Amino acid sequence: GQQVMQIPQYQHVQEGEDFTTYCNSSTTLSNIQWYKQRPGGHPVFLIQLVKSGEVKKQKRLTFQFGEAKKNSSLHITATQTTDVGTYFCAGPVGGGSNYKLTFGKGTLLTVNP
Amino acid sequence: GAVVSQHPSWVICKSGTSVKIECRSLDFQATTMFWYRQFPKKSLMLMATSNEGSKATYEQGVEKDKFLINHASLTLSTLTVTSAHPEDSSFYICSVSSGLAGNTIYFGEGSWLTVV
């Protein structure tokens, strides 16, 4: 079945440093979604990328979708302590009533103030 | 975005008892809801897809008789952990699909289950 792999598993940075997490799918994706889960909280939707080569920005966060629609990345510029959490990518499997998301294992980001 | 309410947030139960977790879609009617399980510092594992008015679709390796799912209305799905054991202790999260293009998933707040 489809697999979504995410690296690194953990990343510790000093506040102000940049951070990047990478996501790779074993199959071509119709779209890719990113979620953030704060410690003790539930995953929250960040963004969805649909087009090949698409780049979207949310303030200090930059999301990219690869040309082949099999990989994606999330880059945070000048991290802040509020960026702490686990970032998950997710790709869809199936359609219609069989639609569901396959999640990567996530990247836990910790930021040292 | 969709608002998904999950109850209870925390529950402690004794081994051998059953626990019911509710998931409500507050913003719109959801024909499909999803139940995930998450161990500490681990990823989300899809347990089953809950379909309104029909049987849930379980993922491979998930025991249907142990994790009973009922989706009796378009706004409510329940997960019952039957004959709970300590190894069932986990974070259980429900979610609904937005139904929009791309089917964005919105998660409930999650329920921490501790079986003692």
Mind listing the pLDDT tens digit for each residue in B44-90? 999 999 888 888 999 999 999 999 999 888 899 999 999 999 999 99
- How do beta strands B32-38 and B44-51 pair? antiparallel
Mind listing the pLDDT tens digit for each residue in A22-73? 999 999 999 999 999 999 899 999 999 999 999 999 999 999 999 999 999 9
Neighbours of A4 (CB within 10 A): 24
Find which of A23, A100, A109 to mutate to test the B interface (most B CBs within 10 Å of its CB): A100
CA distance A30 to A66: 12
CA distance B5 to B25: 6
Contact assignment for A99 to B107 by CB distance below 8 Å: no
A91 and A4 in contact (C-beta within 8 Å)?
yes
